[in-house]
Amino acid sequence: MKLMLAPMEGVVDHLMRDMLTQVGGFDLCVTEFVRVVEQRLPNKTFYRLCPELHHGGMTPAGVPVRVQLLGQHPQWLAENAVTAVELGSPGVDLNFGCPAKTVNKSKGGAVLLKETETLYAIVKAVREAVPSQFPVTAKIRLGYEDKSLAIDNACAIAEAGASQLVVHARTKTEGYRPPAYWDWIAKIKQHTSIPLVANGEIWNAEDARRCQLESACSNLMVGRGALAMPNLARCIKYEEAPMTWPEVAQLLIRYSGYEIYGDKGRYYPNRIKQWFGYLRRQYREAAVVFDEIRRLNDAEQIVAVLARQSSQHLVA
Ligand X SMILES: Cc1cc2nc3c(=O)[nH]c(=O)nc-3n(C[C@H](O)[C@H](O)[C@H](O)COP(=O)(O)O)c2cc1C
Active-site residue list: 98
Q: Which is nearer to ligand X, 68 or 282 (CB)?
A: 68
Dihedral of alpha carbons 190, 192, 195, 198, sign: negative
Q: Applying CB under 6 A, which residues contact ligand X? A: 6-11, 32-33, 68, 95, 97-98, 139, 168, 199-202, 222-225
Least CB distance to ligand X at residue 31 (A): 8
Of all residues in the chain, what percent are helix, strand and coil, respectively (each to 5)?
Answer: 50, 15, 35
Q: Are 196 and 219 in contact (CB under 8 A)?
A: yes
Least CB distance to ligand X at residue 102 (A): 13
C-alpha–C-alpha distance, residues 233 and 243, integer Å:
11
Q: How far is CA 99 from the centre of its chain?
A: 14
| Residue 168 annotated in ligand binding | yes
Q: Which is nearer to ligand X, 77 or 303 (CB)?
A: 77
Residue whose Cβ sits closest to ligand X: 223
| Residue 284 annotated in ligand binding | no
How many residues does the structure list for the chain?
Answer: 316
Q: Torsion-angle region of residue 133: left (phi > 0), alpha (psi -120 to 50) or beta?
A: alpha
C-alpha–C-alpha distance, residues 22 and 243, integer Å:
14
Residues with Cβ within 8 Å of residue 299, at least 6 apart in sequence: 256, 260, 265, 268, 269
* C-alpha Rg value of the chain to the nearest Å: 19
Q: Are 79 and 33 in contact (CB under 8 A)?
A: no
Q: Which is nearer to ligand X, 88 or 200 (CB)?
A: 200
Bond prior to 179 in cis (omega within 30° of 0) = yes
Q: Which is nearer to ligand X, 228 or 299 (CB)?
A: 228
C-alpha–C-alpha distance, residues 102 and 289, integer Å:
34
| Residue 172 annotated in ligand binding | no
Least CB distance to ligand X at residue 116 (A): 19
Least CB distance to ligand X at residue 202 (A): 5
| Residue 223 annotated in ligand binding | yes
| Residue 200 annotated in ligand binding | yes
Least CB distance to ligand X at residue 103 (A): 9
| Residue 199 annotated in ligand binding | yes
DSSP SS3 for 290: helix
DSSP alpha helix (H) spans, the chain: 14-23, 43-49, 74-86, 101-105, 116-129, 150-159, 183-189, 205-215, 224-228, 232-238, 245-263, 268-282, 284-293, 299-315
| Residue 281 annotated in ligand binding | no
Least CB distance to ligand X at residue 274 (A): 8
Binding-site annotation: residue ranges for FMN: 68, 139, 168, 199-201, 223-224
Binding-site annotation: residue ranges: 68, 139, 168, 199-201, 223-224
